[in-house]
């Protein structure tokens, strides 16, 4: 691939200087912002993530902030997940759908207070949809993108590293809960969450000015833990079944097709946009769904367009993410598969750019 042309609309982050000093070798673009994709190699980064601890510049997980008396009402309009039981201090993974039930984003909602929420978005321009809904319904709420840049600390030694900077109390934080912790006199939201299955935290760095000081503090404190700069790892996230909006799902898919039906309480999420459409699809059931697949042959080339999944000469699905897994000795993949062929054990043919390969539908992801 050729280089990215730097410009102002391709936004840098508060940590880009540290990322580049650490030797990033590939960038992706996410929410119009730089997202590191590789440091050493996907395989070397993967082994290190599973063994030690990494600091990830995930600033591109931008926050859509809702502030005001109608913030909670607006949040419930945006998602079919029932938010009535959600307390301040909790994070919820929430599908966001349009009026047809099509996926617009799959963010993490962070409830700071009844009248203050952050929506930690995946790669689509959700701010505009949220502003449009708030304006169209004349809601008493401010919708904006604050100067908040998430920094993830992921890996088996994440607790040890984060405790050295923020104190031992952080070890008591439960999954998808957050607390307030101080750095250089500033209060920061830190959640036990992150886009890997290796465990860790996400620090919502409020104020770009403390970005590099925090980055440097983590790197210095973790030298003996072999801390390194890292990034969401393609191989590890496929093994773990973490979906990628824009790759594994788009507006053409319902949450049920994405296996996100468990995050929809369409009966009780009264007032949510797309409720009628989702009630219908929940009743009928999806006719295609996300599935894990094991793909034979050597390491797959980059999945830069959907690869067709064939049963004979019929197309029955497509693979949207795939990579060679060193730990499992096979290519691991995520695909959308038609109901007639989604049973675990079903043998399909993947039309990869370098030729056909056997692909087997699996019961579960690799965890």
Residues making contact with ligand THG (CB under 6 A): 61, 93, 106-108, 120-122, 150, 176, 193-195, 202, 242-243
Quote the DSSP letter at residue 175: B
- Whole-number minimum distance, CB 76 to ligand THG, in Å? 17
Rounded CA gap, 348 and 362, in Å?
11
Q: Which is nearer to ligand THG, 246 or 308 (CB)?
A: 246
Residue whose CB is less far from ligand THG, 76 or 193: 193
Least gap, CB of 105 to ligand THG (angstroms) = 8
- How far, in Å, CA of 136 to CA of 38, rounded? 42
Whichever of 334 and 350 has its CB closer to ligand THG, that residue is: 334
Rounded to a whole number of angstroms, the minimum distance from the CB of residue 235 to ligand THG is 16
Contact 227, 53 (CB under 8 A): yes
Q: How far is the CB of 94 from ligand THG (least distance, A)?
A: 9
**Distance between CA atoms of 106 and 80, rounded to whole angstroms?**
12
- Of 197 and 288, which has the nearer Cβ to ligand THG? 197
Of the two residues 290 and 352, which places its CB atom closer to ligand THG in the complex?
A: 290
- E strands present in 114-167: 116-120, 142-144, 148-154
Pairing outcome for strands 228-230 and 54-57: parallel
* Angstrom distance (rounded) from CA 110 to CA 270: 20
Q: Give the C-alpha separation, 208 to 230, whole Å.
A: 19
Element (H, E) at 51: helix 42-51
Q: How far is the CB of 298 from ligand THG (least distance, A)?
A: 29
């Amino acid at each position: 691939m050729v280089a990215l042309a730097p410009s102002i609309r391709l936004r840098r982050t508060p940590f880009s200087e540290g990322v580049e000093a650490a030797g990033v070798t590939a960038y992706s673009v996410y929410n119009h912002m730089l997202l590191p994709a590789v440091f050493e190699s996907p395989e070397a980064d993967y082994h290190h993530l599973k063994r030690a601890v990494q600091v990830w510049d995930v600033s591109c997980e931008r926050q859509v902030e809702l502030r005001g008396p109608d913030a909670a009402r607006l949040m419930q309009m945006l998602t079919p997940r029932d938010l009535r039981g959600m307390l301040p201090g909790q994070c919820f993974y929430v599908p966001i759908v349009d009026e047809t039930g099509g996926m617009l984003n799959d963010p993490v909602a962070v409830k700071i207070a009844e009248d203050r929420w952050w929506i930690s978005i995946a790669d689509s321009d959700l701010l505009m949809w949220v502003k449009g809904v708030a304006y169209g319904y004349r809601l008493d709420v401010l919708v904006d993108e604050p100067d908040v840049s998430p920094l993830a600390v992921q890996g088996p030694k994440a607790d040890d590293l984060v405790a050295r900077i923020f104190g031992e109390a952080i070890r008591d934080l439960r999954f998808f809960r957050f607390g307030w912790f101080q750095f250089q006199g500033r209060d920061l939201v830190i959640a036990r969450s992150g886009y890997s299955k290796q465990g860790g935290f996400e620090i919502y760095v409020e104020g770009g000015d403390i970005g590099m000081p925090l980055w440097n503090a983590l790197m210095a404190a973790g030298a003996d833990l072999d801390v390194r700069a890292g990034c969401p790892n393609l191989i590890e996230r496929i093994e773990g079944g973490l979906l990628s909006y824009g790759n594994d799902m788009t507006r053409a898919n319902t949450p049920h097709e994405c296996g996100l039906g468990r995050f929809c309480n369409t009966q009780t999420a009264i007032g949510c946009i797309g409720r009628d459409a989702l009630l219908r699809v929940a009743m009928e059931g999806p006719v295609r769904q996300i599935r894990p697949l094991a793909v034979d042959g050597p390491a797959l080339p980059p999945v830069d367009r959907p690869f067709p999944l064939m049963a004979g000469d019929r197309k029955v699905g497509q693979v949207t993410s795939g990579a060679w897994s060193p730990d499992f000795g096979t290519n691991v993949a995520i695909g959308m598969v038609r109901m007639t062929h989604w049973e675990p054990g079903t043998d399909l043919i993947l039309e990869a750019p370098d030729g056909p390969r056997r692909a087997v539908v699996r019961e579960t992801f690799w965890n």
